[in-house]
Amino acid sequence: MNKKRLFFFLSFLIFIALLIIFYQRPFFIFLAWFITLFYIIWGIFHIIVIFFGVKEPFNPKLNLKYYPTISVIIPARNETILSRTIDCVINHVNYPLEKKEIIVVTEDETSERIAFWLSQKYPGVILVRRKKYFLTKPSALNDVFQLAKGEIIGIVDVEDILDRDIFIKVASSITQHGYDYVQTILRISNIDDSWITKIFAMEYAGWFRILLNGRSHLGLFTPLGGTGNYFRKSLIKEVGGWDSLNLTEDAELTVRFNIAKAKFKVINARQWEEAPINFKAWLRQRTRWFRGWMQTLWKYLPIFLKPYAIKRIGIKNLISTILMLIAPFAVILNWVAYALTFLWILEYYHLIPYKILADTFPVFAIVPLIFNIVYYYAWIKGALIERIGKKHYKYIPLMAIYMNILMPIAALRALYQEITKPVFWEKTEHPGRGVKGFVNENFNNEKINKI
């Protein structure tokens, strides 16, 4: 337990309680208008990002003059579908076989046996079994990073399926277009498993195809996804590797890339992964993500507020970074805004004998709704562009549940863990359910490795 952080949090709650007791009306009016202004800024920012995000992502040239070696790191723990992932990279992705390297890093016997067998079959597969380790993904990445021979390092989660031309586009972006690191567009392969996977797939389409693509076009801070990111190996060395204690190592690493002024782009290539199929699995994963953003915010906020940091990364990038990392608190504010709205309604209709918010304009009742609509539009527009499903409007009630109930629960759980628990990794299970029918449709082994 972080006693210092717990003390700060309890002191904050006591301070709020005292304000409510002694300055009730001024406090609630201030809170209402603060939330209103926050969501207006948040909404305008995201409308601008969406405007640029609907544009086509960057399309790199496909006529490579030079094929750099690409080293793919696959962290695996108790993953029975590991063989499929390795087979996909080796036999499905169009790229010279001798220029592919796969490093499987694991701690368990199941993954070790699978990787060992395939390392005998394919010379480009390397197995690393960690005997003493810290149970986080970034810790595993740090342990094997120096073993990579490639000029380009890629992170591939064990459930991923890569588009056929993804390595060519990555290599072209980095070697011919001068980018230091790139992010592919992540797609969900198991859309029909549950209502959560349907909304998750639409959220991913909105997130990667619209919101991150828009940030990329605008030159704003654009956090990497946990997979589908590729970078120059020298860039990782330059910033000192991954933070082993951060639960969103991708976002934390992007902050340091940004401070280092590395060139970045979201590229028009896709990598398919698997969404959690039930609420429990989704909650564990989203809690980990939200807590990782909180960790990154606590770590870098003191740095961001110093004049030399502002001068180095610029006001535009500073604002876009902070607006990204405070997302868990933004969804929690939804509940606060709705509570204020409910209180105002009770007062307006004289259902309670209080006048805390009387005679104040309840604009804060509308702004969170508008904020939600902005996100729903991004999800639906992304799904349309990525051709995910039909009649997306019928999912708006489920989107509302997802955004206004599930998201705040995950954010509050993340805040609780960040205050009371040491860092630990809540693993997301990947049974490979979403690949049924997908492999036959997308794999064509006759054209493999003919470059």
**Segment 388-411, tens digit of pLDDT:** 988 888 999 999 999 999 999 999
CB contact at 8 A, 155 and 73: yes
Listed range (61-65, 200-204, 343-347) with the worst mean pLDDT: 343-347
Q: Look up the pTM and report it.
A: 0.91
Q: What is the band of 351 on the pLDDT scale with cuts at 50, 70, 90? A: confident
Q: Which of 335, 366, 341, 369 is nearest to 356 (CA)?
A: 341
What domains does the chain contain, in order, with CATH numbers? Answer: 1-444 (3.90.550.10)
- Average pLDDT on 88-109 reads 95
Percent of the chain having pLDDT more than 90? 67
What confidence tens digit (pLDDT) does each residue in 260-284 have? 999 999 999 999 999 999 999 999 9
Q: What is the mean pLDDT of the chain?
A: 89
Q: Of 8 and 170, which is predicted with more confidence?
A: 170
Q: Token pair 């909650």 is at which residue?
A: 283
Whether 135 has a pLDDT exceeding 90, the answer reads no
User: For residue 323, how far is the Cα from the chain centroid?
Assistant: 14
Q: How far apart are CA 106 and CA 185, in angstroms?
A: 26
What pLDDT does residue 360 have?
A: 65
Q: How far apart are CA 68 and CA 174, in angstroms?
A: 10
Q: What is the band of 45 on the pLDDT scale with cuts at 50, 70, 90? A: very high
Whether 438 has a pLDDT exceeding 60, the answer reads no
Q: Which of 387, 59, 322, 41 is nearest to 213 (CA)?
A: 59
Percent of the chain having pLDDT more than 70? 92
Strands 264-273 and 161-162: antiparallel
Task: Name the 3-class secondary structure at 319.
Answer: helix
Listed range (115-119, 187-191, 243-247, 444-448) with the worst mean pLDDT: 444-448
Whether 447 has a pLDDT exceeding 50, the answer reads no
Q: Which of 376, 190, 142, 386 is nearest to 270 (CA)?
A: 386
